[in-house]
Amino acid sequence: MSPKVSSFQPFKLATFLLILFLFGAASAQLYPDFYAKTCPGALPAIEKVVRAAVANEARMGASLLRLQFHDCFVNGCDGSVLLDDTPTMKGEKTAKPNNGSLRGFDVIDRIKAEVEKICPGVVSCADIITITARDSVVALGGPYWTVLLGRRDSKTANFSGANSDIPAPTLNLTNFTTSFANKGLSVSDLVTLYGAHTVGQARCTNFRARIYNETNIDPSYARALRVKSMG
């Protein structure tokens, strides 16, 4: 069996508009033209790097979208997921939901370097992550949406929060619902946000038991997934 399944299906606009609502409008001080005067070249520079990265590896688009989710679901969209360990702080990169699976840090580094050439010290990493998620979706053929900007970067990470707050793929519906409710999100929010999993790759180990052993799944759908997983 192939270890991974890849899917790049059409996006639903509502999915990403809700992502914008949940993760973009975190503050009344955010607005689309935040860098219009201080760094007007930032957004084109970010888009250029993202398009190159996705053209080189389509999976990277999904990874960059996931990076935003893992940043935002802990302490909000503050860029803390990018922070490395220090002698006095444990970063989030090695938390269980992130360690060895969260990708795209190199792309964010390239984007930051390009933006710093244009306007040093102006654009936050938190905003870069958010813009990058949108541009990744667009590069994969999904819809465009306006991103609200003006976030400030966190100076500290939350290792324990990353371990406890980011939902594990093994959770059942009750626990998923509770996890999202703890963030003030509804079941509709949960379903819509998890619609982002229609793009990217998943390891067979995460769903093999579901499609081979469980009975509470549509048989024809399970058969289709078994065939796809072997392709």
Encode burial over 29-44: b for 16+ CB neighbours within 10 A, e otherwise: ebeeebbeeebeebbe
71 is in an annotated binding site: yes
Contact call for residues 71 and 129 (beta carbons, < 8 A): yes
Q: Is 9 helix (H, G, I), strand (E, B) or coil?
A: coil
127 is in an annotated binding site: no
141 is in an annotated binding site: no
Which listed residue (66, 70, 93, 134) is catalytic? 70
132 is in an annotated binding site: no
76 is in an annotated binding site: yes
Could you tell me which of 70, 80, 54, 60 has the C-alpha nearest to residue 158? 80
Q: Is 124 helix (H, G, I), strand (E, B) or coil?
A: coil
**Residue 27: how many other CB atoms lie within 10 Å:** 13
80 is in an annotated binding site: yes
Helix 125-139 to helix 13-24 angle, to the nearest 10 degrees?
180
87 is in an annotated binding site: no
78 is in an annotated binding site: yes
Cα–chain-centroid distance for residue 215? 31
165 is in an annotated binding site: no
Is 165 one of the annotated active-site residues of the chain?
no
Residue numbers annotated as active site: 70
Residues making up the annotated binding site are 71, 74, 76, 78, 80, 92, 167, 197-198
Which residues are annotated as part of the binding site for heme b? 197
Residues placed in the known binding site for substrate: 167
**Binding site for Ca(2+): what residues are annotated?**
71, 74, 76, 78, 80, 92, 198
